[in-house]
Structure 1
Amino acid sequence: MTTPQLGLSTSILTLILLSALPRCESQQAGQPNIVLILADDLGWNDVGFHGSNQIPTPNLDALAYNGIIFNSHYTQSTCTPSRTALLTGKYPMRLGMHGTPLNPAQVEGLPEGKLLPEYLKELGYETHLVGKWHLGYARWNNTPTYRGFDHHLGYYTGYVSYYDYLNTFRVDEKDYTGYDLRRDTEVAWDLAGQYATDVFTDHAVKTIENHALTKPLFLMVSHLAVHAGNDGKLLEAPQETINKFRHIQDSNRRTYAAMVSKLDDSVGSIVSALQAKGLLENTILVFASDNGAPTVGQYSNWGSNYPLRGIKATLFEGGIRGVAFAWSPLFVQSGRVSADLIHISDWLPTLFTAAGGDIGLLDPDLDGVDQWSSLQYDLPSPRNDILINIDEITRNAALRFYNWKLIVGTTWNGTYDSYFGESGKENIEEQVYNSTRVFDSPAGKAIRQVSYTSLTEAEYEALRRQATLRCLNAKAKRNPCDPSNGEVCLYDVPSDPCEENNLASFLPSVVRRMKRALVDYRSGLTPQISGKVDIEKDDPKLFQFAWNPWLDCSDSTCAAA
């Protein structure tokens, strides 16, 4: 007897049967999982997709190429202000958080107001923070689990060392050292001796593995990497990873490269865990650095912002033009390099909209712009200007307006306004970029499982060329600008990303218009927080040698557990 022909191939029949299977509630509701990975002090030139061959970053590159590379993603110039903008959707100067980063034992913290995790909790999300907070901890109400995160494994201060989780802070020529690592509010003493990047990665992976599929996930992984640690052990990484970078002769740069490599491995592990859990096909992943690398100076990490001018804490592009990309199967148009303006404050309204929120329910005073439609469909960005900062104490300011950038004043009398690590190739043997390694990376393999349009190695190379910045050619006119001498600097950034040709004297009307805009912004400024340190009451000796909230401590129950 002959079997009847059904007219359907086995593969088509399989797809029909799979489509009939039940899906988890969060998928039915259409709410995407959101994974936000924040690097600390990562340099522009320290990822492969910006054209560097020094430090292989195959997982980051695979996600960037298959997503959207942001070549004009702006941040604040230091840690606390960038995190303020990210979680509030506001320019830090509106909240008094635009000055120097918070110190241990500092009384002030992020002012009251709804944060990104709180908005997402109202939409049904489970919210997790892994890693750095750096927005205040004087009272328990200043800490992450009281500001919208269901759970937190990480540290409250600006940095710790990578193995012992100590932060040493000098006050009046006296050092105060405390342990700073928490599970929610309890001190995580048991994790001392384990490498921080691995600890945060393992916890993020376990969070994904244990996540209940009935709720969408918001996971923010705010890495210590690649921020420098305490004096005497600024840079730390496992020796077996450092040994992979023998082509870099400078020992500090070699260790930094190992730290970046561990960060890249972390991203690969997180993406693989999302794929194994079945979450990746409905996930938005955003990766960004909080500011540029401090190549030299305080807390230097030997990162490279080449070919950009300036470093962390400056208003030049090397300080505030951050490494960033987004990846998601939900993007209709991906595999592209975007030159559109985007600011770190934009992620609150953008992710809230992507999560199904009504933009009308957000704080009407947000500075962040909803970019979700622009990202999803490759539409023009709704943003045409960015207030980079106004600092009433250092008396400097900067503004992007369409293609123009205006800088008035400087930081540290212009000490770090030059070009550092210019070639990025000193004492480094020439390396060849390995696109096959990118294609076969854990992240590359995972995203091919959920994408119908994953790119080829040849397409990787084309996108890499697009994402590589180039300075003015040798014959182009250059008119240097030194703001420390009182000069006003005006640059056409798309054509002069390295800020070599000051156009202020040629375009006085543009300068006047942008100065007027700065004056308008200045009217909304809240004076900087005082920076008051209460070290006598937050001396780690009082809390079993841990940094601890102290203003609510009326008895021994507040001591570090």
Structure 2
Amino acid sequence: MRLLVATILLLHLSLISAKKPHILFIVADDLGWNDVGFRNPDMITPNIDKIAYQGVIFESAYVLPVCSPSRSTFMSGMYPYHTGLQHIVIGDQKVCLPLHLRTLPQQLKEVGYATHAVGKWHLGFCNWNCTPTYRGFDSYLGYYHSQEDYYSHEQGGYLDFNDGERVAREFNGQYSTYVYTNRTTNIIEAHDPDVPLFMYLPYQNVHYPIQVPEKYSNMYPHVFNEGRKKFSGMVSALDEAFGNITNALFNKGMLENTLILFTTDNGAEVFMYGDNYPLRGGKHTLWEGGTRGTSFMAGAGITQPGINYTGLIHSVDWMPTLLAAAGAPQLPGLDGVNQWDSIRLNQPSKRTEFIYNLDDFPIPTQGHAGIRVGDWKLLLGYPGQTDGWTKPMNETKDTLLLNNIYFAGDTPTFLFNIADDPNEYNNMADKRPDIVAKLTARINEYRLTYVAANYPPSDPEAREVAKKNGNAWAPGWC
């Protein structure tokens, strides 16, 4: 009798495990609001568009204004101003995503997921414990640093490409998008469909340097600006990769049971040919163009597909939301909230406010302080290093770029009603001092838990380790 009960229990647990969705979490690097076909018909992204239209396109899903802070939220569910990662990005410094934080893949492994990461890490690598295979991933292929050549995979004169803990020199000359897609499809083809799969795929595209095989830029003969032409080709190369991965899932019989989350890590860098029009500003700023991210969710569990979801979502929400979709236990104390029912059932968002960023570091190049409460958005002080409303540079040689002049402290003040003025044309601060006072008080409440930015200078020891490692960046200097 006990054997029968045990057998039934094991069968039951097996069925539960089999029902867990596979999760494909794709991050596009520096992809702008206006850089996808479902918002801009000039962009050739049929594979992305098809899945986006079959799912839920997010109109008010926010990220941080630069790379490492956003990626830290994806993995931890915590605001960067609570982890010390709110200032610029992690390079060759003695910094990483704090080791006491439990990561998304670690939590998914607890409920039986196989976990793999392919692409850009950018959450620190001074110690092996900071790197992906020590933070919950079964395997990793990619680079640790901020950006690199798409073909040589070098940054700052040193190779930055690892397969697990091994320096991967065999990919020299291969376009990184191809390398990442091949590794991902190989993982899918070798995977047991009965085991839930978590695939974290932070692509290099479309971050500078602006490099792409010519066949993709040739898809845009109408684009006069050479930089924008190549950038557009980089978007289409990413789209082809997306299509190849979803095809691999389909051929394996896994696509129907896969939940896909696609997001940018921040707005486009307008002086590197990306575009956020009609939103204001771009990467490095707290304007909507730097923080309102192109994103969508589709696939397993979505009961009302084909909608544009307007509820507020912040990138800290993705961890608890994906844990809920996976049937994994929630972690207490996260800044993120579980939005799974809101998204899959098209219900109101469980979020009514969020922090854009809090950064008191001298010269906070990506913005000083910002909050959203309901429809109101308040920015205090420096909003970031670029400003303006820039259309795609299809017919121009140069970028029209308006620069902010840096100023310290909480002034000047910018207040916008985003529901009425989503593109931030009309500063209401002088007209609504009552709202300014209310939101400033709310920011000051958040400041009570502020953790100072952990942003030391680059460590020369990192280069010494790289030299000893055959001129390849490597952990081992903190």
TM-score of the aligned structures, taking structure 2 as reference length: 0.91
1:111 maps to which of 98, 102, 113: 98
**8 Å contact from structure 2 (residues 225, 394) kept in 1:** no
2:374 maps to which of 369, 387, 402: 402
Q: Distance in 1 between matches of 2:82 and 2:315?
A: 15
1:521 CA displacement: 0.6
Q: Distance in 1 between matches of 2:455 and 2:243?
A: 41
1:49 maps to which of 38, 49, 53: 38
**8 Å contact from structure 1 (residues 307, 423) kept in 2:** no
2:418 maps to which of 486, 493, 498: 493
1:139 is matched with 127
Q: SS at the partner of 1:60? A: helix
Q: Distance in 2 between matches of 1:365 and 1:44?
A: 31
1:311 CA displacement: 1.2
**8 Å contact from structure 1 (residues 45, 306) kept in 2:** yes
* CA gap 1:256/1:23 in 2 versus in 1, 3 angstroms: farther
1:280 is matched with 255
Aligned 1:147-546 pairs, distance under 5 A: 147-168=135-156, 177-228=157-208, 234-296=209-271, 301-359=272-330, 362=331, 364-393=332-361, 394=363, 396-411=368-383, 415-420=385-390, 422=391, 424-427=393-396, 486-539=411-464, 540-546=466-472
Q: SS at the partner of 1:130? A: strand
1:418 CA displacement: 2.1
1:547 maps to which of 451, 473, 477: 473
Q: Distance in 2 between matches of 1:208 and 1:156?
A: 23
Residue identity in the other structure for 1:516: A
Residue identity in the other structure for 2:20: Q
Q: Distance in 2 between matches of 1:504 and 1:146?
A: 47
**8 Å contact from structure 1 (residues 538, 550) kept in 2:** no
Deviations 1:112-145 (A, max 9, x none): 2100000000011000000010011111001000
Q: SS at the partner of 1:512? A: helix
* CA gap 1:542/1:483 in 2 versus in 1, 3 angstroms: closer
**8 Å contact from structure 1 (residues 39, 288) kept in 2:** yes
1:64 maps to which of 47, 52, 69: 52
- Paired positions, count: 454
Q: Distance in 2 between matches of 1:269 and 1:293?
A: 24
2:19 is matched with 30
Q: SS at the partner of 1:536? A: helix
Q: Distance in 2 between matches of 1:26 and 1:248?
A: 52
1:210 CA displacement: 0.6
1:242 CA displacement: 1.7
1:419 CA displacement: 2.3
1:542 CA displacement: 2.1
Deviations 1:23-47 (A, max 9, x none): 9956764211000000000011110
Residue identity in the other structure for 2:221: R
1:282 CA displacement: 0.9
Q: Distance in 2 between matches of 1:321 and 1:280?
A: 28
Ranges of 4+ aligned residues in structure 1 off by more than 6 Å: none
Q: SS at the partner of 1:365? A: coil
Deviations 1:68-125 (A, max 9, x none): 000111000000000011110010100101001011x211111121000000000110
**8 Å contact from structure 2 (residues 125, 475) kept in 1:** yes
Deviations 1:260-311 (A, max 9, x none): 0000001111111111111111110000000011111xxxx20111111111
Residue identity in the other structure for 2:113: Y
1:536 CA displacement: 3.4
Larger radius of gyration: 1
Q: Distance in 2 between matches of 1:530 and 1:347?
A: 25
* CA gap 1:181/1:26 in 2 versus in 1, 3 angstroms: farther
**8 Å contact from structure 1 (residues 25, 215) kept in 2:** no
Residue identity in the other structure for 2:167: V
Q: Distance in 2 between matches of 1:149 and 1:44?
A: 30
Deviations 1:377-424 (A, max 9, x none): 111111000111011124620111111111111156xx412223x355
**8 Å contact from structure 2 (residues 126, 462) kept in 1:** no
Residue identity in the other structure for 1:343: H
Q: Distance in 2 between matches of 1:246 and 1:260?
A: 15
Q: Distance in 1 between matches of 2:335 and 2:205?
A: 28
List alignment gaps of at least 5 residues for structure 1.
Answer: 1-21, 169-176, 229-233, 429-480, 553-561
**8 Å contact from structure 1 (residues 483, 489) kept in 2:** no
**8 Å contact from structure 1 (residues 65, 335) kept in 2:** yes
RMSD: 2.0
Q: SS at the partner of 2:463? A: coil
1:334 CA displacement: 1.1
2:8 is matched with none
Q: Distance in 1 between matches of 2:343 and 2:187?
A: 27
Residue identity in the other structure for 1:183: D
Q: Does 1:121 align with 2:109?
A: yes
Q: Distance in 2 between matches of 1:423 and 1:236?
A: 18
1:328 CA displacement: 1.1
**8 Å contact from structure 1 (residues 69, 325) kept in 2:** yes
**8 Å contact from structure 1 (residues 292, 319) kept in 2:** yes
Q: Distance in 1 between matches of 2:63 and 2:370?
A: 12
Residue identity in the other structure for 1:542: K
Q: SS at the partner of 2:186? A: helix
1:425 CA displacement: 4.4
* CA gap 1:115/1:225 in 2 versus in 1, 3 angstroms: same
* CA gap 1:410/1:25 in 2 versus in 1, 3 angstroms: same
Q: SS at the partner of 1:319? A: helix
